Structure 1
Amino acid sequence: MRQSQLPLLALFLFGCVEEQSSVPSYNTASLERASINVSVGSTGIVEPLAIIEVKSKASGEILELFIETGDLVEEGDLLVHIDPRTVRNRLAQSEAGLKAAVSRRQISQTQMMRAEVLVKNGTFTEIEHEKAMLELANAEAQVISSEVEVENARIAVEDTDVRAPITGTVIAKPAEKGQVISSPTQDFAGGTVLMSMADLSAVQIRALIDETDIGKVRSGMKAEITVAAFPNQPFLGDVNKIEPKAVVEQNVTMFAVLMSIQNPEGLLMPGMNAEVEISIAARENVLSLPIMALRTDRDIPTTAGLLGLVESDLRREILADSGRQTTNLTDGTDTETVLLGGRSVELPTGTDTGRIRTIMTKRRAGEALSREEEEFVRGALSSGRSPSRPVRADGMTRGAPGADSGTDYRFGGDFWVVVQEVNGNIRTANVRAGITDLDRVEIVSGLDESDTVLILPSAHLVETQQELQQAISRRIGSVIPGLGNSGSTPGSGSGMTGGGMGGGMR
């Protein structure tokens, strides 16, 4: 008899434990003043702004190389000396041809003067006079041609001394002393590269940014660069350019972003790997909440189950709260805000918000709207201001061009939260969120600084747990102790308990 009572006692105790453990408790969070910074991170490579390939216009053997890789040279410094014998011989030949051309011109001038006298005396015919004129013209043309050849030969001699085209650093030197090189002006292959130079007083970082973040980046944004060689010495740069053509690596679409950075000490060298953080937006001393406190429409059924509420009542409470007057926490102004077309819209002063809510309730119920009602809602949408770009105290739109974020990316959106009041009752509140660093989120409007909100498990978390429980139950045919039943709530912690919900929704 005593043995038969033990299983009953165990079942009773287990039932008590189950009943006690079914009372949920959730963490709470208060609004806090915080600074929120949004940035985009990536890795990149240090590159010169421009690489100059140094070639020689002269062909021949390299007699002297005056520099080595890594040398810093000034513009005009002598770099390479090429065998000048061939071009000097060509210069001497051109100078001799010029002297002969000058002599022929002098003879032609004398013959022309004699022909003019003979024509006047009638000894020369007009045809012979014209021949003398032609000889003089050909002699003058030969002189000019010879002068050009001499000038070109002198330039060719000067080209045997290769000088630095810019002030910079020699970053590569493939040519060596004794090598015979070809000129790019004579070789169809482009000639021999003697060395490569770059001005490293300023460099650029080429980083690949994921396509999900590229919409936030704009030219002119500040970037912080860190390299492994100087881990405790960050470098500051600016975004110069976003290349329009995508780069696909391992099925991931990215875009190249170029950032310029001053390098007066030459610490950054081409090829270094760099960690890049591009500052997108920042808010100082703003009201914020943990991002896990925000709820969406997808969370309504889950939240109703977690709090023991009727889903339709919770949904009605959220819709009703969306039509209440909200206060912008940034500038303290009052605005009439309602949900239209799935987004919050600040309506102009004097708009019949009650009628708007009635029409939207009718639409959600699947009823057809009259033509007048459709025109009324359309007019409210066109004249209202969407707070998806919240207004700052200075009148500028957050996230709009000219705002302090420097980007026209639209941050934030409209959410709702569960507020726990001092007496233990709970209520919902529609809030407008600003920027987030994925830890805390800026609260632009909808809450007071003294409010406390519940941090509830998300719909995805609850659904995942339920799917896991169902999968295990199908395998073993029973409910696993500790996982509870389909109404169990994950993520329990300190804070509000089941007894605190006795007041229900207010």
Structure 2
Amino acid sequence: MNRFTLTLLAVVITLGGCAQETEKRTWNLASVQQRDIIVSVQAAGIIEPVTTVELKSKASGEILAISADTGDVVEAGQLLVQIDKRTPRNALAQADAELEAANARRDIAKLQRERAATLFKTGTLNQVDHEQSILEYANSKAEVVRAQVAVENARIALDDTEVRAPSHGTIILREIEVGQVISSPTMDVGGGTALLRMADLRFVQVRALVDETDIGKILPGQKAVVTVAAYPNQPFDGSVLKIEPQAEEEESVTLFAVIITIDNKSGLLRPGMNAEVELNIASRYGVPAIPTIALRTPRDIEAAALFTGMEEAQLRAQLRSSGMAVPDMVSGASEATENDAVDNATDSDTNKEAYQDKEAATLTTSEIPSQLTAGQGYMFGGQYWIFVLRDGRPAPQYINAGLTDLDYSEVLSGVDANEQIILLPSSALIMSQNEFREWMGKAVGLPGMSSDKDD
């Protein structure tokens, strides 16, 4: 027998001996405390402009002057870029001349039509020539309209050589220099030359990625606090504008983009800054609370009975008497029904009466529902049970829990202020330890451990 086997046997023998001792059991206890419970969601993002405009010119030609540079704040209608006017000016002059000629032809055609009408009445002019004069007059009027359109288009093209700010904003990017020849997006299949990029930085936004487990708690209009590395001690107030409907996946983690808008009239926030966002979901101040690890659901009954040494049937009966709807003991094949019991439990008449008897002696928060909602469909709290220490022994108690920050949970009803709460290990740990104990008992048949071997 090797050293490892001897060591293992020694440990097992010690555990077996300890199991037979009848020393008084001690428990890990916690008390009901008055606490502030604040639920928030943290996320990271980047400062972005709410609106960004890329400026291009519908005119082609050489840039003669640039009146704004990166960082300049401009107003609507302010001249930003001047493009060579010679070609558009020449086109306008030509269009004006053609309009003048068209007006002249129209006037002549009008006189000819009137003269033809007079001659046709006296029989001097035949029907065909009379109709031809009418057609020529109509064509001359159409030519005047075409010439007027050409003049208007030429005037627009001349105005397009002056690129002006479409609205109030800040120049955030300049992509051109004086002397550069640019192309028009209306003439170039490549989209034309980008001149400047501007944005209104009086309001900015953060596009923060939030885990799907938290996205149900967030609603448009909720308040947010944004901090940036440049001003670590100066938080900025914001609010949720919207939640983008399409999820994004990063390293097998599903995330949703949340847009938070921020008033930036101070101009401190700049596009591209890394931002940390804290969304305030819900808060309760000065409420009775217990550690969240004390909360148990019907699926934990078997493990809790093993750990405390109680009979499982007795534990279920005591929970029913405290006002909780608990299913009967089920086999492993029906375990899923028990796992869902905490969500599907209903307040029967019997449970209501049992609970009302305890209501006067429990901690309550007036006019607070048993489950607190944080928006459309998301619900905090629920129905749980805990162990309290009574007369030195664990006693199960049904409670209603409210808001939780994962460390502590608000107690809406079900527990006295002076009661001691028993904190149990996780059910998975209890069950795994029990399985190990049974396996060791079957393997070596030590006292204090179960064994299927015959003596």
TM range (shorter): 0.7 to 0.9
Asked if the contact 1:217–1:407 (Cα under 8 Å) also holds between the matched residues in 2, the reply is no
Pick aligned residue for 1:413 from 379, 382, 402: 382
Does the Cα contact within 8 Å between 2:37 and 2:410 map onto a contact in 1? yes
One-letter amino acid of the structure 2 residue matched with residue 440 of structure 1: Y
Give the alignment of 1:27-426 within 5 angstroms.
27-322=28-323, 341-342=341-342, 343-347=344-348, 351=349, 393-394=366-367, 398-400=371-373, 405-421=374-390, 423-426=391-394
**Which stretch of the first structure deviates more once superposed, 450-459 or 222-231?**
450-459
Inter-partner Cα distance in structure 1 for 2:178 and 2:218? 49
Secondary structure of 1:282 counterpart: strand
**Could you give the per-residue CA deviations for residues 278-330 of structure 1, whole angstroms, max 9, x where no partner exists?**
12222222211111221233443443344343333223322332359xxxxxx
Deviation, structure 1 residue 109: 2.1
**C-alpha distance after superposition, 1:358-390 (max 9, x if no partner):** xxxxxxxxxxxxxxxxxxxxxxxxxxxxxxxxx
* Aligned match for 1:447, one of 415, 432, 435: 415
Aligned identity (percent) is: 46
Shift of 1:106: 1.9
Once residues 269 and 353 of structure 1 are traced to their aligned partners in structure 2, the CA distance between those partners, rounded to angstroms, is 59
Alpha-carbon displacement from aligned partner over 1:76-129 (angstroms, at most 9, x marks no partner): 110100111111111111111111111212222222232222223322122222
Residue number in structure 2 paired with 1:458: 426
Partner-residue secondary structure (3-state), 2:425: coil
1:378-403 Cα deviation digits (max 9, x unpaired) = xxxxxxxxxxxxx9844767444xxx
Q: Structure 1 454/297 Cα, relative in aligned 2: closer, same or farther at 3 Å?
A: same
Q: How far apart are the structure 2 equivalents of 1:90 and 1:290?
A: 82
SS at match of 2:110: helix
Q: Distance in 2 between matches of 1:177 and 1:300?
A: 80
Quote the offset at 1:251 in angstroms.
0.8
Could you tell me which amino acid in structure 1 is paired with residue 386 of structure 2? Answer: V
Distance in 2 (CA, whole Å) between partners of 1:58 and 1:446 is: 77
Question: Counterpart amino acid of 1:435?
Answer: L
Counterpart of 1:432 (choices 396, 400, 405) is: 400
Q: Secondary structure at the match of 1:96?
A: helix
In structure 2, how many angstroms separate the alpha carbons of the residues matched to 1:427 and 1:247? 47
Tell me by how many angstroms 1:221 deviates. 1.4
Provide, for residues 231-268 of structure 1, a one-character-per-residue CA deviation record: whole Å limited to 9, x for no partner: 11111111111111110111111111111111111211
Q: Is the 8 A contact 2:36 2:286 kept in 1?
A: yes
- Aligned residue pairs, count: 413
Question: Which one-letter code corresponds to 2:146 in the other structure?
Answer: S
Note the C-alpha offset of 1:45.
1.3
Change in CA separation of 1:449 and 1:266 when aligned onto 2, cut-off 3 Å: same
CA contact (8 A) 1:206 1:258 kept: yes
Judge conservation of contact 1:399–1:408 (CA < 8 Å) in 2: no
Kept in 1, the 8 Å contact 2:308–2:394? The answer is no
Q: Does the 8 A contact of 2:302 with 2:312 survive in 1? A: yes
Task: Give, in whole Å, the separation in 2 of the partners of 1:229 and 1:456.
Answer: 45
**In structure 1, distance between residues paired with 2:62 and 2:37:** 64
Would the aligned equivalents of 1:399 and 1:407 in 2 still touch at CA under 8 Å? no
Question: Alpha-carbon deviation of 1:429?
Answer: 0.6
Instruction: Answer yes or no: is the 8 Å Cα contact 1:34–1:288 preserved in 2.
Output: yes
| Paired position in structure 2 for 1:499 | none
Structure 1 residue 161, shift from structure 2 partner = 0.4
Secondary structure of the 1:264 match is coil
AA aligned to 1:51 is T
Q: CA deviation at 1:175?
A: 1.9
Partner of 2:453: none
Between the aligned partners of 1:73 and 1:59, the Cα distance in structure 2 is 23
SS in 2 for 1:244: coil
1:430 counterpart letter in structure 2: Y
Q: Which amino acid aligns with 1:124?
A: L
Contact 1:392–1:398 (CA under 8 A) maintained in structure 2: no
Distance 1:95 1:221 in 2: 60
Extract unaligned runs of 5+ from structure 2. 1-13, 326-338, 355-363, 451-455
Matches of 1:397 and 1:133 in 2, distance apart? Answer: 89
Could you tell me which amino acid in structure 1 is paired with residue 379 of structure 2? R
CA distance in 2, matches of 1:59, 1:99: 27
RMSD: 3.4
Name the counterpart of 2:335: none
- Partner AA of 1:411 in structure 2: F
Residues 33 and 288, structure 2, Cα contact 8 Å, conserved in 1 = yes
Check conservation: 1:101, 1:143, Cα contact below 8 A.
yes
